[in-house]
């Protein structure tokens, strides 16, 4: 199985890609690579069209991804971030600070189709500082189902049937047969119950480092 760290898209509100921000002196993407390698995974890739992700010790994969987020709105499809492949693949989000236990959970999880990884209900996790659940990645064995559901999400967006830009949550709902606009967590969702979190802003790093002390 391939492990692809997703570092694509353009976010104009940050000069440095989120995945290259440092937490406790280590870049987010470098930490993810290190934790995978320490847990016996070497088939690791970075998905990005940005050459700033070269020289990190793993191969960088390029593909068509024109998603851009600006203060005025977005262009393209966020879901284009998932590198197209027919192979079994685990997609890890490059702007997530993973715990070692989270990486172990993701590696050891078994499925015949698709699994979605994210945070546990924030109200039940004292180590998690955000007030909403965050997605952390997908394990995909059946790429056909996965790709078909991505296309369904895009069609929903094009027809004006989504409340926002379809992202990981909308994809999960379509995969499970749920209402694309209703926040439901059910089957094939693996909850990570620790400090693992997505970094959206520099301020998030400050909050995370308070917990990590």
In this prediction, residue 126 carries a pLDDT of 85
The predicted structure's pLDDT at residue 65: 77
3-state secondary structure of 117: strand
| Integer Cα distance of 44 and 83 in angstroms | 13
Question: Residues 156, 122: contact at Cβ < 8 Å?
Answer: no
180 Cβ contact partners less than 8 Å away, ≥ 6 residues apart: 153, 156, 161, 162, 166, 170, 173, 174
**Quick check: 43 and 130 in contact, CB under 8 A?**
no
Which domains does the chain possess?
2-142+189-212 (3.90.550.10)
CA gap 160, 11 in Å, rounded: 23
pLDDT in the model for residue 152: 98
Within 10 angstroms of residue 141's Cβ, the number of other Cβ atoms is 17
Averages of pLDDT over runs of 10 residues in the chain (213 residues) are: 88 76 97 99 96 96 77 76 96 98 99 97 84 95 98 97 96 98 97 95 94 90
Using CA atoms, how far apart are residues 176 and 146, in angstroms rounded to an integer? 11
The model's pTM: 0.93
Q: How many residues appear in the chain?
A: 213
**Residue closest to 15 by CA, chosen among 202, 210, 209:** 202
Structure tokens at 137: 């990645």
Which residue matches tokens 């917990």? 211
Question: Which pLDDT does position 135 carry in this prediction?
Answer: 96
| pLDDT at site 76 | 78
pLDDT at 9: 63
What letters, b where the CB count within 10 A reaches 16 and e where it falls short, cover 65-93? bebebeeeeeebbbbbbbbebeeebbbbb
């Amino acid at each position: 199985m391939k492990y692809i760290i997703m570092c694509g898209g353009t976010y104009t509100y940050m000069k440095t890609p989120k995945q290259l921000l440092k937490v406790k002196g280590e870049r987010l993407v470098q930490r993810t690579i290190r934790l995978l390698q320490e847990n016996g995974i070497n088939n690791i890739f970075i998905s990005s069209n940005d050459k700033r992700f070269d020289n990190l010790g793993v191969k960088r994969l390029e593909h068509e991804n024109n998603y851009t987020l600006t203060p005025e709105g977005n262009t393209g499809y966020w879901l284009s971030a998932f590198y197209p492949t027919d192979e079994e693949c685990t997609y890890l989000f490059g702007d997530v600070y993973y715990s070692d236990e989270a990486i172990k959970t993701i590696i050891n999880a078994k499925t015949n189709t698709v699994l979605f990884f994210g945070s546990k209900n924030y109200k039940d996790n004292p180590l998690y500082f955000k007030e909403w659940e965050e997605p952390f990645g997908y394990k995909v064995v059946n790429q056909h189902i996965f790709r078909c559901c991505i296309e369904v999400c895009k069609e929903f967006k094009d027809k004006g049937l989504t409340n926002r830009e379809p992202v990981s949550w909308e994809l999960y709902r379509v995969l499970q047969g749920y209402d694309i606009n209703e926040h439901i967590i059910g089957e094939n969702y693996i909850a990570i119950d620790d400090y693992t979190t997505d970094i959206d802003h520099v301020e998030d790093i400050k909050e995370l480092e308070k917990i990590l002390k």
